[in-house]
Each structure stands twice: as C-alpha cells, then as structure tokens.
Amino acid sequence: MRRFITTSLLAVIALPMLACYWADNHNYYLFSVYERTEFSNRMDEITRNNWKAYLGQNDDSYFFFRADDIIKAARKKGDALMVSYVQNLEKYLRCVAIEERKQREWNYPTKEEINACRKNLQAIRSYAAGKLKTRLRSQHALLYMRSNMMLGQHDTNINFWEQTASQYIETVYKDMMKNIYAGALYKTGQEAKAGELFAEMGDYNSLMTQYYKKRSFAAIRQEYLRDPNAKVLPFLLQDFVNNSQEAYDACQPHGEGEAFGGKLFIRDISQDEAKQMRNFCEQVVKERKTEVPALWKSAKAWLEYMFGSKERALKDIRTATTLSGTERIKDNARVLRLYIESALVPQSENYDNWLAQELEWLFSKQAENHYQNVLNRVTYQTLKKRYAESPERMAALFNATGTYEYETYIDTMKVERLEDYLQYTLRSPRTPLDRFLWTHQKKTEHALEDLIGTKYMRLCQWEKAIQWLKDIPTSYYEKKGYAVYAANRKYDVAPWIKRQWLRSAVLYSNHNGKLKSNPKLTFAREVQRMEGELNVLSGEELKKRYYELAIRYAQASYTGDCWFLMRDGKNVSDSVRVNETDLAAKAAELLRKADNSKDTRLKEEVLFAKAYIYMNPSPWYTLTWNSNTYEYDRHPAPQSAQYKAFASLVEYEKSINKPSGYVSKCDEYKQFLQAYNHR
C-alpha cells in the first residue's frame, strides 16, 4: 500500500525542493481526530502477527518478513501452496525494491531490470489469478491486485474488487485490496468514492494527496450536505481547524509566525472563513444529523476560542466532552478542554488537582507523537503563564514535560529560586500536582549544583560559587560540549593581544577534552585570591593586579575565549544575560584603574586593551552605505569611547616612538592611524 501512496504522492505533488529554516515555537496542532500513520501501522501489525503465528513464534524474535524462513516453515508443514505464494510474493517485492532503488539506493536500476520487472509482474499476475479458488485466495487476490497496480492496470483492479474481492471474508488482505481499489478509483477519476474509502480506512496520507487542493469551508459544507456522516468529514474538519490554528498562531505575540515540523500542508485561512466554519459547526450539532456531535462541538469550541468568545469556547468544550463520538474524537475533546481550561479558569486547589489527573492521562498517551506535541503546547502556552509566580513548580513542570525551555528557564532564573527548586526536588511532595511532578523529574547528577555555582560566578560571588562547585568532579565537565575549549584555552592570556582560536583538528577531535581540574572551581578560587589580596597591594603592584584581573574578567565574559566558565554555549547573537554581571564592563573598569602605570610595558598593554573592540560599547567609526562603490564607507566618530582610547594609544606610541609588535601589526590600529592622521 505504501507503494501506491508513495507513487501517488510523487505523481501529484512535484513540489520544488526548498531549504527551510524553522524553529520550535510550541504551537503544534491540538485538533487531531485522524492519526497520520494509523492505516499503515494497523496493516503492518496484523500482517506481522499473521506471519508470527504461521511460524509458530510467540516471542519477540520475529522482526520482519523473510521469505526464506516462511518457505522453510511451509515446506516443513507440507504447505506447497504457501511455498508458491511466498515465492511469488518475494518476486513481487523484488519489483517493488527496484522502484525503491530508483528513489533512495545507490544501485539505480537498469533498463533491462525495469523491463524484466514488468515481465515478472505479468507472470505473478497470471500465477495469482490462477489461485483464486484456493484456501489462500485472499493472499493471492492481493498479489493479483498489487501486480495490476504496479502495471498501471487500474480498471482491472476496479472490476476485480467490485465483482470478486469485495465478497471475500474480512481479513487484513481484504483491507489492503480495498486500499488498492480506492487508489485505482482515484487514478481513474472517481474521487468522491475514493475519498470515502480512504477516510473509512484512516489512510491519512492518501487523503491528503487527494484533497490537497480541495480544503475549504465551502468544500466541507458541500460534503456535509451530500452526506452528514460522510467519512471524509473528520479529516477535512481536522485539516481546516489546524489551518485556522496556523493563521491564529501567526498573529500571537509568542507565535513568531515560524514554520513547523510536520506542518506541511498549510492553507491560509481568513478569519471570516474560520467564523463561517464555527457557525456551521454549531448548526451541524443543532441539526442532529451527525453521529459524532463531539467532533463538531469540539471544532466549534476551538474556533470560538481562537476567533470568538473565550467564555463561549469554555462552555462549548465542556459540552463537547459529554457528547458522543469515537474514542479518538473524545480524546480530542479532552485535549482541547485541557488547553482551554488551563488558559481561562482561575487558579485554585481544585484546578491543580484536576490538572494533575489530566496530565497523568496525557502522559499515559505519550507514545503517540501528537500527544507529546499537545503536552508541549499546553505547557508552554498556558501552564507557563499560570505558574509563573511559582518558579520551582514551573521548573519542575518544564523538567517533567521534557521541553527544552527547562534548560533556558533554569539558566536564567535567579540563583535563590534555583536553590528553591533544588530543595523542591529533594523534599516529599504535598499535593497531587506536586506528587505528579515529583515522580516525573529527570535528574542529571551535579547539574543543578554546577548551575547554582555558575550563577554565583556570574554574580562574582566567588565564596558561594566555591561552596557549590567544590564537590563536583572534573569528570562531570569532561562530558560537557565545551570541554575541548576548557582543555585548550587559558584565562590568563590577554584576549586583546592573542585570540585563542582552536584548529579544526583539535576542535573536532574526540580526544581533546581531557581536563586537569574543575575549570570553574580553579577560576573562582584564583579570582577570589587575587581580589582578596587587592587590599594589601599598592602602587605599581596594585595596577598590575588590576590589569591581571581585567584579563580574567574579559576572558570569562561572553566575548572572551573562556566563555565556558559562565555558560554552556556561545553564539554570535549573545549578550549579557539576566542575573549576570557584565564581566566585560567590569574588565573595562579594572583597566581604568590600571591606567597611568609607570611601567611602559604595562601602560602600553592597558592602553591597547582599552581600545579593544569588546571593551567599548561602539566602534571608533560609523558606517554608511555607498551605492556607487557597493561598499560601506567608514566615518570616524571622535566622540566614541573607542576612538578616544585609540587616540590615547596613538599619542602614547608617538611619545615612546617604538610601538610593540602587537600594536604595530594590529590592522584595526593601522586603519585608525590612517584616519587619525588625515583628520
């Protein structure tokens, strides 16, 4: 069947291949009454069980269909018919494999192989047609239809199903034949009939192929008027509601309008069309012609929530959970109720207890991807706001639900709150919600202690940092992604004189993250000692110490080479984060204190450091676009701090008449000098 679907998809959707950018912003579809893989999963499972039973294997040793094993077993049983069936099935599968090879294998088939494949298919077809009166007639009939499908003989398949196979007893083979029949109807232009059959079978992929360009309120209404219980209606309604959600999400402040994984079939739905649909859903429930009012009422509630009155949405979804529908439709109503209640009802102990019960239910369904997405959206979009005032619960919730927000959340929260969260994870739970969260916490040894210690480092509270970091083994840091940087960079190297770039051979080797000690603890202890001695130093010694400390702060800042001391990762758009001291600013302040040294070497280094780009809020120039040269022009900005710092350096170099190599070789210095001399 997969072959038919794949072939159909390829035939119908020849979309251009575009590289996409996407990011998770949590707005997954909530409305799901159709499981995307239901049909193929069901077929796979039953056929698998059938073969297992034939082989007499009741354990888990059976993995996938292997013709040789079945043939061996059949011969042992003296089952000649099964032997010939499996031999022909294997031949057929070889033809399928040739089609597969066209798509995704290195050995692309030859013309001869394709021709031989067609011949084989003809032979298999004749063989199967001759076995339709045997005890394995369903299997042979399926083989016959499969061969016809591959040969493009769709009319033959339609006639065969209608006159013969439809009378067969109910088996998985019959289901598969029916699917091929539906595909043949579709291929020969009988689309409405095909759609009903695909919907009845839960074949989402085929439905999407067929209805890709026919999804709208008007189409749903027309389908309902044709048959209020048309099987394609839940699929079309789900698609409409999800596309409406797409339009709604795009307007939300947290929606960001990004594309999502899984959202392949976006249709832009206007508010007016969504409101028409909402009203129509209400009408359908009132007309009582539908057998699944819970479906329409849930759709109405969700559309109402997005485009109408939130209060009415709450009332509607509560009603929807009491109406009749399939198990999936009822689960869908329950999901929507969880979201809407969590977004709207006031905080209370009753709500917390109800939430614990609903989350427990949702967790029990996490094997299916859809329910993982629901959990993600509910957590991020409703529960996050609800528990914003209770940081330890919020952190526990993020942890339990496995959303990546957890890392960001605990990384940015105040250190005292993180300590509270650590305690929360250690003490016995008091309420049903706490018990639920407590039992679902995922813990990594030393992670919270390391983060608390790091947070104290970010605040330059070295004593407290040392207390939290001192018992964390070096091996913990060797597992970190930044271990290679920690092992190969030194925080006492002046970043304005030497950048510690890592060669790619070092960066991408697996053997360069071996650490001698806990890097954070070593740093914290050293800075604490150096700062502790400031009171006893004076004169040139003191200035030198300020300079040495400035180097360490500059290195530990997000612009330094040793950024890993304060954070787990680094990217081009980094900045000073909340609850973090601006270490670069602190370094700049220390450089000011180190200024005017009598030691010429130190003085030159300090002046050079003060002109370093990361020690200044803006560059010594401004840029304007030149549309004649297609380049930016630099205009000196004498009021900027970096300009002044560079000017001081230039004047100093003039006075000593021999700049050090690191100054004279600096390209930025050279450019400044040129501009400065032409001012």
Q: Return residues touching another protein (CB under 8 A).
A: 10-11, 14-19, 21, 102-111, 114, 246-247, 250-251, 255, 257, 259, 266, 268, 504, 508, 625, 630-632
Question: Which residue, 268 or 327, is less far from another protein as judged by CB?
Answer: 268
Burial category of 587 from C-beta neighbours within 10 Å (exposed 0-12, middle 13-18, buried 19 and up): buried
Q: Work out whether the CA dihedral 552, 557, 560, 565 comes out positive or negative.
A: positive
Q: At what angle do helices 2-12 and 80-104 cross, to 10 degrees?
A: 30
Residue 107 C-beta: closest distance to another protein, Å = 8
Q: Which helix (H) or strand (E) holds 662?
A: helix 661-664
Question: Which residue, 105 or 445, is less far from another protein as judged by CB?
Answer: 105
Burial category of 253 from C-beta neighbours within 10 Å (exposed 0-12, middle 13-18, buried 19 and up): exposed
Question: Which residue, 302 or 387, is less far from another protein as judged by CB?
Answer: 302
Residue 102 C-beta: closest distance to another protein, Å = 6
DSSP of 360-426, one letter per residue? HHHHHTTTSHHHHHHHHHHIIIIIHHHTTT-HHHHHHHHHHHT-THHHHHHHHS-HHHHHHHHHHHH
Q: How many CA atoms lie within 13 A of 168 on its CB side?
A: 26
Kindly compute the dihedral angle of the four CA atoms of residues 519, 521, 523, 524, in this order, to the nearest 10 degrees.
Answer: 160
Buried b (16+ CB within 10 A) or exposed e, 180-212: bbbbbbbbeeeeeebbbbbbebbbbbbbbbbbe
Per the DSSP assignment, residues forming a β-bridge with 383 are none
Question: Which residue, 76 or 625, is less far from another protein as judged by CB?
Answer: 625
Instruction: For residue 562, give both structure tokens.
Output: 């040793």
Question: Which residue, 298 or 381, is less far from another protein as judged by CB?
Answer: 381
Residue 213 C-beta: closest distance to another protein, Å = 15
Residue 160 C-beta: closest distance to another protein, Å = 27
Question: Which residue, 477 or 482, is less far from another protein as judged by CB?
Answer: 482
Residue 369 C-beta: closest distance to another protein, Å = 16
Question: Which residue, 180 or 269, is less far from another protein as judged by CB?
Answer: 269
Instruction: For residue 563, give both structure tokens.
Output: 């950024």
Residue 15 C-beta: closest distance to another protein, Å = 7
Question: Which residue, 167 or 629, is less far from another protein as judged by CB?
Answer: 629
Residue 167 C-beta: closest distance to another protein, Å = 37
Buried b (16+ CB within 10 A) or exposed e, 433-462: bbebbbebeeeeebebbbbbbbbbbbebbb
Residue 98 C-beta: closest distance to another protein, Å = 11
Residue 117 C-beta: closest distance to another protein, Å = 12
Residue 111 C-beta: closest distance to another protein, Å = 5
Chain position carrying tokens 């001291």: 581
Residue 344 C-beta: closest distance to another protein, Å = 22
571 three-class SS: coil
Question: Which residue, 6 or 461, is less far from another protein as judged by CB?
Answer: 6
Question: Which residue, 114 or 613, is less far from another protein as judged by CB?
Answer: 114
- Distance separating alpha carbons of residues 185 and 190, to the nearest angstrom: 5
Per the DSSP assignment, residues forming a β-bridge with 631 are 626
- Distance separating alpha carbons of residues 124 and 143, to the nearest angstrom: 8
Question: Which residue, 15 or 536, is less far from another protein as judged by CB?
Answer: 15
Instruction: For residue 464, give both structure tokens.
Output: 């407290």
